[in-house]
Structure 1
Amino acid sequence: MSGRVQAFVERLPLLADRQLLAMLAALLAAGIGLGLRLLSAPWMPPGYPFLTFFPMVVATTLLFGWKPGTLCAVASGALAWYFFITPTTVFAFDAGIAVALSFFALVVGAEIVLIHALQTFVARAARERETSRLLAENRELLFRELQHRVSNNLQVVAGLLTLQKRGVTDKRARDALDEAARRLTLIGKISRQLHDTTGGHVPVGPFLDTLCGDVLSASGRDDVALEVSVDDGIEIGPDAKIPIALIVAESIANAIEHGFANGSAGSIGVRLNRTPSGLLLEVSDNGAGPPEGFRLEDSQSLGLRIAQMLARQLGGSFTLVREERTRALLAMPG
């Protein structure tokens, strides 16, 4: 059923708040049935007094409801009785006429009951669908508001950590506070990016592209080229996007901090591909890479440990390898 037809059907019955006009339409329909029956009389065999009145009753009930339909049925029965049941032009009554009128009443009664039941069902379904739509809109609105508040609160906490750093003299403690503030700020930005302005989910490609641009911009490096590519058709739920985004952010930050520590220019590539076993996220760079004999499991880097923990949370694994380029790999089901 097309949208326009469905919208029209859900509006039925018409003139529900103008019953007098609907009743007049019912009488007009009975009159049309009479006119059609009179016009067809020369070609119609005897014994069909109600033939043209049945569709009028159906149309009236369908368009205007069971009350006008009932009025049309009564008027149609009276007109057929008077003009087309022998003897005509009088309201004669006998057993045969009683059977004919009973048959007409049974048929139109069944039509009216069925149409009324159908319209009641359609109206109830339309109300339930509208209620579901409003509930979905409210739920989405509340979720976005909660998301906005959480993001704001994270920004506030990050700001407090930055203020707290002013009273700390130990360099390691100051660096730890800086890292914590940076990660909280990043989580806040990620939360804002999970949905677009209309409340729809942001596709993976634009989400990662914006995220990587933010991380690179926050590093202050304009001499590092960035390329993001995502295979078509990959979809990731909001619950998985935050840990994936944090792993990408930590990998990019690690590449900038260690791969390009001497200020040399370079490039970072972020790729999300589908593999036979799931999804593979790769963050590669052409920087200096990890030192000789580096083992990820022995690393004391907090960022890399966080990446490993988040990978396990996703049911996957995180590895760091040095080949032609340094590659941080996240393998996960998908």
Structure 2
Amino acid sequence: MQRSNERFVERLPLVLNRPAYAYLLTLVFCGAGLMLRFAAEPLLPQGYPFVTFFPAVILSSFLFGVRPGIFGGVIAGLASWYFFISPVHSFALNPATAMAMLFYTGVVTVDIILIHFMQRANFNLAVERERSRALAENRELLFRELQHRVSNNLQVVAAMLSLQRRHVDHDVARRALDDASARLGLVGRISRALYDPSGEGQDIRAFLLTLTADILDASGRSDVTVKVTAPDALILEPNITVPLALVVAEAVSNAIEHGLPDRAGSIHVTLENDAGELTLRIIDDGKGVAPDFQVGDGQSLGLRIANALAAQLGGRFALQPGAQGGAIARLDLPLAAAC
């Protein structure tokens, strides 16, 4: 309702198909003011000839603009002079009448001028609002196009690395190219899914479900199940969500490749938000790791990337043996990073 009222005010003064209608309606307003003044005659003290005509002039100016307002002011002034200023039923002019008419003319002029400038301001505001809306639409369109092109370029680079792999005979180099290609494709998908022009964050639980499903599909493993537990409607900013998603991707991929390389198993991804501090755990029931395992000392590039991303967020990443076997990849983010 409020928005409808704003749009109505922004369209003022009303432009009718035939301007004569505006003058006709102004006459109706003035006639109503005259009838109301006659009706109020017994209730009013001596004087007040213009009291019921000011609303008619203001309403005409407000709805139809300056010219109908001036027209209404002239008609109302003449009616007041003829019917309610002594001597009545005449246009006799004396100093008192001249002063009253000057007062009326001044008040009506100020009212019309104020209404005119108010409507000009409303019109300019409506123009700026429409311009801002158009700019916002263009910004969103350009942003989406940019994100689309960036993601496509990453996919192209990933495809080029895959093609280059065919001409490499060294197993270590081929594996490195495969890893680089997979990570570029993952970054492209995360970038496309997470960023939006409004700057709003994403529901992290829904995104993690999609992300882990993609990783599992990419691995080609149907004997591994992945479960995600995260607070409902937890929204994180993109500058946190992207590194967090990459850490999840690296940890889940590492669990599939090294923890469950040749047997069925399960992986449980949990995200907890305790007083603004985030704790991420990726728990698997695979081979596990040594009690003294250090991420920085390992040979896995993915784990080193996860450790670097955690440091980027001011957090800490660790890979520990599980209490009942398997391994637990844990990421702890402090309050400042999680906000």
Number of the residue aligned with 1:153? 153
Q: What is the 5 A alignment of 1:39-58?
A: 39-58=39-58
Q: Following TM superposition, by how much is the alpha carbon of 1:260 offset from its aligned partner in structure 2, in angstroms?
A: 0.9
How far did 1:150 drift? 0.8
Post-superposition shift, 1:143?
A: 0.9
Question: Deviation per CA, 1:95-136, whole angstroms, max 9, x where unpaired?
Answer: 111111122122222222222232222222222222222212
Name the structure 1 match of 2:170.
170
Alignment match, 1:215: 215
Q: Counterpart in 2 of 1:128?
A: 128
SS in 1 for 2:267: strand
Tell me the distance in 2 between the aligned counterparts of 1:284 and 1:197: 34
1:188-213: CA deviation from partner (whole Å, max 9, x where unpaired)? 21122125899975422222211111
The letter of the residue matching 1:318 is: F
Matched ranges for 1:83-94 at <5 A: 83-94=83-94
Letter in 2 for 1:149: R
1:293 equivalent to 2:326? Answer no
Residue 67 (structure 2) aligns with: 67
How far did 1:17 drift?
7.0
Say whether the 8 Å CA contact 1:50–1:77 is kept in structure 2: yes
Listed as ranges, the gaps of 5+ residues in structure 2 are none
Q: Give TM-score, length-normalised by structure 2.
A: 0.90
SS class of match (2:235): coil
Aligned to 1:330: 331
Q: Pairwise CA RMSD of aligned residues?
A: 2.3
**1:167-202 CA deviation, whole Å, 9 max, x = no partner?**
111110110111111111111211221258999754
Query: Is the CA contact 1:144–1:199 (under 8 Å) kept in the aligned structure 2?
Result: no
- Tell me which residue corresponds to 1:107: 107
Q: Alpha carbons of 1:20 and 1:163: their partners in 2 closer, same or farther (altered >3 Å)?
A: same
Letter in 1 for 2:329: A
Q: Show the counterpart of 1:305.
A: 304
Q: CA deviation at 1:297?
A: 2.1
Residue in structure 1 matched with residue 30 of structure 2 by the alignment? 30
**Aligned counterparts of 1:175 and 1:187: Cα–Cα separation in 2:** 18
Instruction: Report the more deviating stretch, 107-116 or 194-203.
Output: 194-203
CA distance in 1 between partners of 2:258 and 2:97 (Å): 102
Q: 1:20 to 1:200 in 2, by over 3 A?
A: farther
Distance in 2, matches of 1:235 and 1:202, equals: 5
Q: CA deviation at 1:165?
A: 0.8
Contact map agreement 2:151 2:189 (CA 8 A) in 1: yes
- Alpha-carbon deviation of 1:71? 1.7
Q: How does 1:253-332 map to 2 (within 5 A)?
A: 253-264=253-264, 266-276=265-275, 278-324=277-323, 326-332=327-333
Q: Does 1:119 pair with 2:127?
A: no
Does structure 1 conserve the Cα–Cα contact (< 8 Å) formed by 2:154 and 2:188? yes
SS in 2 for 1:271: strand
Judge conservation of contact 1:14–1:65 (CA < 8 Å) in 2.
yes
* Letter in structure 2 aligned against 1:106: G
The SS at the match of 2:236 is coil
In structure 2, do the counterparts of structure 1 residues 18 and 202 end up closer, same or farther at CA, with 3 Å as the change threshold? Answer: farther
| Map of 1:15 onto structure 2 | 15
Gaps of 5+ in 1: none
Structure 1 distance, partners of 2:130, 2:124, is 10
- SS of residue matched to 2:227: strand
- Per the alignment, do residues 91 and 277 of structure 1 end up closer, same or farther by CA in structure 2, a change over 3 Å counting? closer
Distance verdict in 2 for CA 1:195–1:295, change over 3 Å: closer
Distance 1:285 1:67, change over 3 A: farther
Verify the 8 A CA contact 1:317 1:330 in the aligned structure 2: yes
**Within 1, Cα distance between the matches of 2:273 and 2:214?**
25
Q: Distance in 2 between matches of 1:201 and 1:309?
A: 23
Distance 2:130 2:230 in 1: 37
Q: Note the C-alpha offset of 1:230.
A: 2.4
Q: Secondary structure at the match of 1:318?
A: strand
Cα distance in 2 for residues equivalent to 1:201 and 1:295: 33
Distance 1:175 1:326 in 2: 24
CA distance in 2 between counterparts of 1:158 and 1:54 reads 75
Q: Distance in 1 between matches of 2:193 and 2:103?
A: 68
Q: 1:148 to 1:199 in 2, by over 3 A?
A: farther
Per mean C-alpha deviation after superposition, the further-off stretch among 59-68 and 213-222 is: 59-68
Query: Bigger shift: 166-175 or 25-34?
Result: 25-34
Counterpart code for 2:25: A
Q: Deviations over 1:271-303 (max 9, x none)?
A: 222223622222222222224532112112110
Question: CA offsets, 1:6-39, max 9 Å, x none?
Answer: 2222222212675443233223322221222223
Residue 168 of structure 2 aligns with an amino acid whose one-letter code is V
Q: Is the 8 A contact 2:294 2:318 kept in 1?
A: no
Aligned-partner residue type, residue 231 of structure 2: D
